[in-house]
Amino acid sequence: MDETPAKRRPTLKRLLLWGVPALVVAITAIHTWQWHRALLDWERAVHRIEDRGEPVQFADLVVEIDSPDDDAGPLLLKAIHALQEPDAAYIQLIAAEPPTRAGTHAALRDALRANQKSLDFVVQASERPHCRFSADAYLFDQRRMEILKCRELGDLLRAQVLWSLGTGDEPAALAAVIQGFQLAELVGEESLAASRFTAIAIQNKSLRALEELLSNMDVGSEGFAELDTQVRRAVQRGRCETLLQANRVALLDGTGFLTLRESIGLPGAPQWVVSGKRWLYEPWVTDNVVYWIQALTELAAIADSPGLENAEIQDWSRRVGESKYSLAQPYLIAARQLREPILTMRQQLILARWGLRVDRYYRQHGRFPAALSLVADDELPAVAPDSLFEQPLSYETYPGGFVVRIADQEHADAEFLRDCRFEVSYSGTGDLQDAADVSTQE
């Protein structure tokens, strides 16, 4: 009986000697197979995108330019570098709520004089058809900060409108409004988030300048055509799909892997332990990136459909929320939120097109139209519901002005609705007959 433990020791030793390595080999083999399968899924996802002709690398997002003379990017960079630090009085006027009205404001005059060189570069840039900043998609790229500075150029153009109207230089005011929309189009030509949202900010400034322009002058038939063309182009280019595809490129080019890997760790653990955990989780990380890519592709395809909470978006959100890919979920939720500012700005631009037509009618007939349908034309043949909540547009007049906006009774707590309107309050309208108050929904 004493021999039994002695016989068991070699057996246990052999089991440990062979069993543990065999277990390690088995785990490694399973892990390798899972990782290989996940990488194959990733490659298949990339090939499907390539087959559709959609961007896969950052190089695919770069604006193609036939000649350097077509590129407004270098001129805008010169304009940015020539910017002078604004003083407090200028900032107060530009940021004022309600917006500053046209006038001979000394702070605007001083800022325009100090930044005349920047404005000259902007005028030259607006004559070119394309803009290539070649900004990287990574947040630490310095070029991103330069793109954001373009908002200050938009402020200067709005200041030019206010000052020119105040001094009676109507052609300069009209030109500055047009240049504002052109600047936004150039800046937003690249689909990166920094470019697109800077363009939206410039468009918002240009819309406020357009309201003031119409309040103070008759733009005439040529001015109407030029302005409507610029706003129509902005509507056509205000799409969510291209921005989401650009975000997806960051995943395809490797950023997604880095982002999700960094989210895996053990606070306070040695680095080798953290590295080991990340190695074990690598197949799961890859699966999350693949799902992230697939879900972004689905979102991009439906992102421009009307309605912030339409049935397609709700179904997509439900499937993302119920998925097992918890690492990708927060980023997908954030991607969905990109729709709101883009759709809102596109709706503001549509409201501005109707506002241009109401103003034209008012200037021609001396009274406001009773309904938006009376100013419909070949360009805008029908009054469509708003693209946010799919409700009828609201058109209201009052002595000396009018407003076209989305109906916000059910969504009054939404902050972005504050600017989703186009309002013109006429100055010095003694030669025109103010209509009686009208409040209609189309």
Residue 417 is predicted with a pLDDT of: 66
List pLDDT tens digits, range 258-314: 666 666 665 666 665 556 666 666 777 888 888 999 999 999 999 999 998 899 999
SS3 395: strand
How far apart (Å, rounded) are the C-alpha atoms in residues 327 and 283? 12
List pLDDT tens digits, range 101-120: 999 999 999 999 999 999 99
Bridge partners (DSSP) listed for residue 405: 394, 421
Of 199, 195, 192, 209, nearest to 255 by C-alpha is 192
How far apart (Å, rounded) are the C-alpha atoms in residues 401 and 250? 47
Bridge partners (DSSP) listed for residue 395: 404, 440
How far apart (Å, rounded) are the C-alpha atoms in residues 378 and 53? 33
Phi/psi at 310 (5° precision): -75, 175
Scan for tokens 């039994």, then name that residue.
4
Bridge partners (DSSP) listed for residue 219: none
List pLDDT tens digits, range 212-253: 999 999 999 999 999 999 999 999 999 999 999 988 887 777
How far apart (Å, rounded) are the C-alpha atoms in residues 358 and 370? 10
How far apart (Å, rounded) are the C-alpha atoms in residues 46 and 290? 9
Q: How far is CA 218 from CA 165, 319, 400, in A?
A: 12, 52, 15
Of 369, 344, 315, 326, nearest to 422 by C-alpha is 344
- Token digits of residue 314: 């709700």
